[in-house]
Each structure stands twice: as structure tokens, then as C-alpha cells.
């Protein structure tokens, strides 16, 4: 007969435990007592001391009683084999049923076969082959078993149960079924009193709302609280969250991720990374801190935004999703860059709002105001930029020369991500350098108008329209001193401009 590896390990393990128990307590094995049988016969052809017992057979061994329909008892070896309606009662706390039993009174190990059922006050175990050590109150199955308690059903190929501690250890094809989810694992430790499951190796937890994967962690099935680590991730179909360590409270709808956090949104085509994240399911918002970065994926050109804190809020009633970036928010895209103390990204209309000392850069233009709105169209192309209060646009001509436009409100219109028209509303002023077709400087134009409209080609002013109280003059360069070539509140802060995505971390 061939024995499996787990069978051999079990025999060695249980024998060692039994030997240790006997040696520690300095006691000798006790005899198995036959309490009754309807009929008893001797058969020396089987063994010199073989007893054939038939009809309502009952044994006692220390704190356990055992019943069966028939049995062979071997008194010299202090063992018996029982058949039919086998029942073991261990100290009135554990009850075991089966079709066949091999029991050794010296080791106190019971081996049961066929329709085995073990019941205690916490759970019911069913299997086809079970070992039970009455000395240590431990059970082991190696050919598949099922555990059922108040809320959970658990199956596995191999299981070991410590009855006194109510601890189960499972291996191979472990499946735990709960009314709210199904857990699949390679190795699982489960306590039927606390209803806490500890898993080791690849583990997946699937519910109607989400799927969770990890290689190490624990799950409090009674309170629906869990912690996951080692390649841990969580997804609800549209969003995906991963991190070195994940914590989840299903009842509170609260999740937490620590270190190497990655949050992907397949609907919004965004990635958020950082080292600490919290998710509040019932309040519909998430927050990421510690090196937080938002990546808005575009066709060949993605936007990268960093801030101290990134907070995502989903307004389900209006089907609107907003991302708040604060403080020291800074973003980079090849065609446009910006910074502000606070930035809001509206995913529903692809608008970026910048508050508190905002600055935008596009090509050779610098745009500043008290508040800025950046509107994007399909494929995240810039459509328009709105500058509110103290609006100012600057572009560099050379080392000391700058084209400048200012007003109360300015709207910049883009075509193919290039600034083509500038509308100025209120207190409009413009100063720009005029050159001929050979790029020779002709003069400096100064224009004043309540409202004005400026057209650009190849990032240079091509023409200007003035409305209401207009005043425009072209001056020879030598007539305007250097200190008069700058409009009020001019500033050039290109040193803060991110030149690559890594620069968003520099403030």
C-alpha cells in the first residue's frame, strides 16, 4: 500500500505528540475497556487474542466512549477495528461519526473512514478519511474535507484541527464561502471561535461588489475587517487599488493602502500613485498622500500632477467626479505645464481649475491670474484658458524683451494645442515687439483699450483689434527706456516651470 506525503507527516507528527504527552506526564497507556456487545466470539485464525464483537458494541477509553455495530478487538495490542454506525464521544464536547474506525489505545489515535462527520459546539466537519488524536484533541484529513459553522462553509484538500483551541489549518484548494463573498486560498488558518481567517500564499476574495487578491493577510469574517499584504490588490471592475499593505472594513466601507500605492480608473483613464491612501466607500471619496501623483492618460501625451494631497470625490447624484490637489500642486504635460497652491480636475467636462497664485505655461507663453480655468476637449487637447482677475500673459522675445498682455479677464483660445487668439475684457493693455519679415525689430507697440482681441501666428502677434477708448502707438525702440518696457505687475517666473515630469516634485 502507498501512503501520501501528508499521511506520513501526520503519523510522525501525532506519534511525537503522543510520546511527548506520555513522557511529560510520566504515565503509561491505559487499557481500552469493552463495556458491552450483544455477541462476542473468539477467532484465533485472525490473531491469538482476536475478539469478534457483534451488535450494539460499546467501548470506553479514558474520557471517550465509542459505539459501533460490530468490531474486532485485539487486547494484547490494546486496539480495535469498528464497523457500521461508528460513533465517538470525546468528553461530551466532540462527537465523531463514520462507517469504519481503527483505534489504537496506546497512541489514542482514531482513524475513521467513510461518511465521517465531526461535530463540536462551533462547527461541523465532514470528510471521507479522518485521523483524530484523543490525547491532543487534534483532527487531520488528507483527502478533502468540508467545515460548516454559523456563517461559513470551508473546503480544502488537507486540514488539521486543534479542537481545544478551535484552530483549523488548511492547504490545497482552500475555498471559504460566506453569504457576502467567496475566498480561494492556497494555505489558510481559521479559528471557529473568533471566525478570523489567516491566509498564506495566493488568495482571492470575490464578492458582488469587488475582488481582492493577496499572498498574505487575515480576514475577520464575523466583523468583515481584513488586512492584506504581499502583491495585494483590490478592484470593483472600474477601479483598481494595489499597495504593499491593504486594510478593508466592509461594514464601514473604509479601505486603506500603505506604501507603493497604485489606484487605476479604467473609466477616467487615470492613475494615482503615492504611499498612503484612504477610501471612504459610503462617502464616495478617496485620498492619497505621501508623494501623491495623478496621471491622466492621453493618446501619446499624458498629464502628470503632484500635490501634497490628492482627493477624489464622486457626486453620484449629478454623475460628476472631481479630483482636488492641494497643497503645492504642480503638473506637466509636453504641451502645457502649470502650478498652483490648489488645483481641481473635473473629469465630467475635462476642466482644470487653479486657485491661489496659479501659473500656466504653453509653448513660450506664461499665463498668470488670481484664478485660472483650463478647458480641454477630446483627447485632452487644450481648448481654452480663462484667466480671472489680474490676468497677465507674457511671452519672451529675447533675453531682456517680453511681449505682454494684461486685463481684468483674459480668454486664450487654442487650435491644435496652439494659442491662436486672446480676448481681453476690462482694462486691457498690450506691449509687444514688432518685427519685419526678416525678423528685424521695427518698434515697440503699446496699446490701451477697455477690451481687445489679439491674434497670433507661430506664437507671435499678427494683428490686434481694440474696442472702446482705444489708444495704440508704435514707438522706435530707442524711445522707450528699459524700465518702461514692462507693464505693471509684470513677473517672469520660468525658473518654476517643470521641464519634465520629474520636476513636478520641485516647488
Instruction: Give domain status of residue 386, yes or no.
Output: yes
Does 476 map to a domain? yes
If you search the block for the grid coordinates 530707442, which residue do you land on? 478
On whether residue 440 sits in a domain, the answer given is yes
Length of the chain: 507
What is the DSSP track for 203-229?
EEEEESS-EEEEEEEEEETTTTEEEEE
Among candidate residues 128, 143, 158, the one where a domain is terminated: 143
What is the C-alpha end-to-end distance of the chain, expressed in Å?
Answer: 74
Q: What is the DSSP letter of 356?
A: S
Residues 6+ apart with CB under 8 A from 108: 18, 29, 61, 62, 133, 134, 135
pLDDT value, residue 27: 60
Listed residues 100, 118, 143: the one ending a domain: 143
Domain final position from 143, 169, 191:
143
**For residue 87, is it within any domain?**
yes
Is residue 313 in some structural domain? no
Residue 300 placed within a domain: no
Is 66 part of any domain? yes
Q: How far apart are CA 371 and CA 425, in angstroms?
A: 15
Q: What is the pTM of this model?
A: 0.76
Domain, as residue range, for 83: 1-143
Whether 21 is covered by a domain: the verdict is yes
Cα dihedral 390, 395, 401, 404 in deg (nearest 10): -30
Please tell me the total count of domains within the chain: 2
Encode the chain (507 residues) as per-residue pLDDT tens digits.
Answer: 333 433 334 444 444 444 444 444 446 889 999 999 999 998 877 888 899 999 999 999 999 999 999 999 999 999 999 999 999 999 888 999 999 999 999 999 999 999 999 998 888 999 999 999 999 999 999 999 999 988 889 999 999 999 888 898 999 999 989 888 899 999 999 888 888 989 999 999 999 988 999 999 999 988 989 999 999 998 888 888 899 999 989 889 898 999 999 999 888 888 999 999 998 988 888 899 999 999 988 876 899 999 999 999 988 777 788 999 999 999 999 989 999 999 999 988 889 999 999 999 998 999 999 999 999 887 778 899 999 999 999 999 888 899 999 999 999 999 888 899 999 999 999 999 998 888 889 999 999 999 999 999 888 888 899 998 899 999 999 999 998 999 999 999 999 999 999 999 998
42-51: b or e for each residue (b if 16 or more CB lie within 10 Å)? eeeeeeeebb
Please give the pLDDT value at position 2. 36
Instruction: Count helices and strands (H / E) in the chain.
Output: 1, 34
Distance CA 285, CA 278 (A): 9
The CATH number of residue 136's host domain is 2.60.450.10
Which residues fall within 8 angstroms of residue 107, CB to CB, at 6 or more apart?
Answer: 14, 15, 18, 133, 135
Amino acid at each position: 500500500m502507498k501512503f501520501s506525503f501528508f499521511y506520513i507527516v501526520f503519523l510522525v507528527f501525532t506519534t511525537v505528540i503522543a510520546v511527548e504527552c506520555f513522557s511529560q506526564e510520566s504515565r503509561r497507556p491505559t487499557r481500552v475497556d469493552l463495556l458491552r456487545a450483544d455477541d462476542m466470539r473468539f477467532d484465533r485464525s485472525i490473531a491469538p487474542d482476536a475478539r469478534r464483537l457483534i451488535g450494539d458494541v460499546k467501548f470506553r477509553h479514558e474520557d471517550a466512549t465509542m459505539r459501533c455495530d460490530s468490531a474486532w478487538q485485539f487486547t494484547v495490542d490494546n486496539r480495535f477495528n469498528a464497523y457500521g454506525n461508528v460513533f465517538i464521544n470525546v468528553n461530551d464536547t466532540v462527537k465523531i461519526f463514520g462507517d469504519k474506525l481503527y483505534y489504537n489505545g496506546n497512541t489514542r489515535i482514531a482513524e475513521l473512514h467513510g461518511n465521517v462527520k465531526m461535530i463540536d459546539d462551533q462547527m461541523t466537519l465532514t470528510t471521507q478519511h479522518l485521523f483524530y488524536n484523543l490525547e491532543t484533541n487534534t483532527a487531520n484529513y488528507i483527502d478533502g474535507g468540508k467545515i460548516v459553522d454559523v456563517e461559513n462553509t470551508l473546503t480544502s484538500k488537507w486540514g488539521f484541527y486543534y479542537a481545544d483551541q478551535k484552530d483549523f489549518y488548511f492547504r490545497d484548494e482552500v475555498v471559504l464561502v460566506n453569504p457576502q463573498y467567496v475566498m480561494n486560498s492556497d494555505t489558510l488558518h481559521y479559528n471557529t471561535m473568533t471566525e478570523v481567517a489567516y491566509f498564506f500564499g495566493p488568495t482571492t476574495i470575490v464578492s458582488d461588489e469587488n475582488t481582492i487578491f493577496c499572498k498574505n493577510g487575515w480576514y475577520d469574517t464575523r466583523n468583515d475587517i481584513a488586512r492584506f499584504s504581499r502583491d495585494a490588490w483590490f478592484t470593483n471592475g472600474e477601479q483598481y487599488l494595489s499597495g504593499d499593505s491593504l486594510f478593508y472594513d466592509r461594514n464601514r466601507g473604509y479601505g486603506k493602502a500603505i506604501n507603493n500605492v497604485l489606484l487605476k480608473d479604467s473609466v477616467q483613464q487615470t492613475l494615482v500613485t503615492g504611499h498612503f491612501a484612504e477610501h471612504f466607500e459610503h462617502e464616495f471619496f478617496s485620498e492619497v498622500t505621501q508623494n501623491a501623483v495623478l496621471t491622466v492618460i492621453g493618446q501619446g501625451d499624458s498629464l502628470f500632477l503632484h500635490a501634497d494631497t490628492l482627493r477624489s470625490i464622486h457626486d453620484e447624484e449629478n454623475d460628476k467626479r472631481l479630483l482636488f490637489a492641494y497643497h503645492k500642486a504642480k503638473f506637466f504635460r509636453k504641451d502645457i505645464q502649470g502650478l498652483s497652491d490648489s488645483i481641481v480636475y473635473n473629469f465630467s467636462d475635462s476642466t482644470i481649475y487653479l486657485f491661489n497664485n496659479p501659473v500656466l505655461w504653453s509653448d513660450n507663453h506664461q499665463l498668470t491670474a488670481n484664478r485660472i480655468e483650463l478647458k480641454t476637449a477630446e483627447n485632452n487637447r487644450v481648448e481654452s484658458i480663462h484667466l480671472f482677475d489680474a490676468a497677465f500673459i507674457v511671452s519672451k522675445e529675447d533675453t531682456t524683451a517680453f511681449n505682454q498682455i494684461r486685463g481684468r479677464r483674459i480668454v486664450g483660445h487654442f487650435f491644435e494645442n496652439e494659442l491662436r487668439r486672446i480676448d481681453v475684457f476690462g482694462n486691457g493693455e498690450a506691449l509687444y515687439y514688432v518685427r519685419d519679415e526678416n525678423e528685424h525689430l521695427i518698434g515697440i507697440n503699446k496699446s490701451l483699450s477697455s477690451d481687445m482681441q489679439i491674434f497670433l501666428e507661430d506664437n507671435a502677434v499678427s494683428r490686434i483689434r481694440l474696442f472702446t477708448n482705444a489708444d495704440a502707438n508704435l514707438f522706435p525702440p530707442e524711445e522707450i527706456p528699459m524700465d518702461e518696457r514692462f507693464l505693471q505687475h509684470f513677473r517672469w517666473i520660468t525658473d518654476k516651470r517643470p521641464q519634465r515630469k520629474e520636476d513636478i516634485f520641485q516647488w
